[in-house]
Amino acid sequence: MALLPEITVFLFSLLFLVFSLLKNRPSLYLWARGLVLLGIFLAALGTAVKGNFFAGAYRVDLFSQVFKFLIMVGFALVIFMFESEEEVEGEFLAEYFMFLGFSTLGLMMLVSSVELISIAISLEISSFSLYAIVPLRRAQTRGQLEASVKYLFFGAMATGVMLYGIGYIYGITHSTFLVNIIPHLIRYISQPLAVFAVFLILAAFFFKLSLFPFHFWAPDVYEGAANSTAAFIATLPKVAAAALVIRISMLASAGAKEVAIVLSIFAALSMFFGNLVGLVQKDIKRLLAYSGIAHAGYLLMGILPLSEEGAAAAIYYMAVYLFMNLACFYVLLLVAKRGENVAIDGLSGLAKKSPLLAFTLATAAFSLAGIPPTGGFTGKLFLFVSAFKGGYLGVVIIGAINTAIALFYYLNLVRMSYAREENATTITLSSHQKLLCYIFSVLIIYLGVMPFGLLNLFKRAF
């Protein structure tokens, strides 16, 4: 029961590996959607299960199971969002779903890993799968292929840096288990080698979060990948990386104030850089990439206090971020009928073409901007309160300033959607597409007005 979510996703990937070898393939969409729904059900059942596996290197607890459920829901939404072979060549569709499954499996393993070697292996399972699917885009241009190579190169570099850090930490602490490592590192935190080793490992996680200055890959990869692939990369790896950073921060407790100060600097730089550069973007996916850089900074605000309240706020914000970001990408997918990239100007007249799509985008944009009554507002409020209670008033002020800056480019998306266009072509939505739009909108608003049930669940995860 404890490992059912991972087993389900593993069987999902193996099944599509078999499908890729068949000449007469069954309905891939039907199989994919059915299996991810089963995965959500099993992940929900597993939230109450606890256990340790592989000599204590793999821990199943409420914390990990909550994140697995979020990852499984995000994976299912990406599968249901994907419904056009305009995105990916039809002959590679089975392989595409297979690699998505293996990447999801790696992310699920990552949130349960409490030992450095298992963390590295989990991260690589996820990363190598993504390296394979980024180039799988129909009608590749030279720029898109360049993005694939860049993602592979910088991802490999991040892995090398992390392994280098693991070697240093093992030399200092003579252990690879987080529960043994953290107390030793806190004692040696004044030594340059210990600080350097911690920084090397965190750099790999910050790469996944696209936190400044480890963000350089994100805008080009988002722009070059297929829209559905970009939706996956923009959300699920960040959820898993956030889980690991939160777990480490809770083990560190209040004994690592020096590290928290360094993280506060990264948070401030990420917020300013992401939002200021986001102001001048013309392509929606590049805008969402820089938005993600800023949101990584907001996320760190919950981690800085090294408290249960702050960590629960960070988990809550990641849950909201998952839904509001996927909602933006889903609107983008439906506007780009041939899988092309869409400029912000391409949203002009969207309210006339499809009022439901315009409303879904507006709901997601308001949430990203932190406007009530959306989940983004409530999530930011929890982060700001936890950081303020932890004594980080300066970071809270910086966060508030950046929230005001971000209003300009988020509201510009809404303004363009509701701008008049004389010859607007109606976008016809199927019942399945309408249902997904309703789900995104309802979830974002519900998380804004009814947050405490979920927040209390997250607090019990520690």
Q: Cα(268)–Cα(255) distance, rounded to whole angstroms?
A: 22
Q: Where are the domains of the chain?
A: 4-459
pLDDT confidence of residue 323? 92
Look at 249-258, 296-305, 429-438, 446-455 and tell me which has the smallest mean pLDDT. Answer: 249-258
Taking the CA atoms of 323, 324, 326 and 332 in sequence, report the sign of the dihedral they define.
positive
pLDDT band at 325 (very low <50, low <70, confident <90, very high): very high
Look at 146-155, 249-258, 331-340, 366-375 and tell me which has the smallest mean pLDDT. Answer: 249-258
For the stretch 232-273, pLDDT in tens is 888 998 888 888 888 887 776 655 666 778 788 888 999 999
* Helix H or strand E encompassing 60: strand 58-60
pLDDT confidence of residue 442? 92
Q: What is the pTM of this model?
A: 0.90
pLDDT confidence of residue 193? 75
pLDDT band at 190 (very low <50, low <70, confident <90, very high): low
Q: Which two tokens stand for residue 344?
A: 């912000």
Identify which of 132, 291, 284, 147 has the alpha carbon closest to the alpha carbon of residue 221: 147
Mean pLDDT computed over 145-170: 83
The 8-class DSSP code of residue 211 comes to -
Task: Quickly count: other Cβ atoms within 10 Å of residue 265's Cβ.
Answer: 11
pLDDT band at 202 (very low <50, low <70, confident <90, very high): confident
Measure CA 59 to chain center: 21
Mean pLDDT computed over 177-183: 81
At position 48, the amino acid (one-letter code) is A
Q: Which two tokens stand for residue 49?
A: 């299960």
Q: Cα(235)–Cα(216) distance, rounded to whole angstroms?
A: 17
Q: Cα(233)–Cα(289) distance, rounded to whole angstroms?
A: 10
Residue 109 pLDDT > 60, yes or no? yes
Residue whose pair of structure tokens reads 């979920």 in the numeric block: 454
Measure CA 404 to chain center: 23
Given a contact cutoff of 8 angstroms between Cβ atoms, the answer to whether 88 and 138 are in contact is yes
Given a contact cutoff of 8 angstroms between Cβ atoms, the answer to whether 2 and 62 are in contact is no
Mean pLDDT computed over 310-321: 89
Higher-pLDDT residue of 180, 86: 180
Q: Which two tokens stand for residue 426?
A: 């109606």
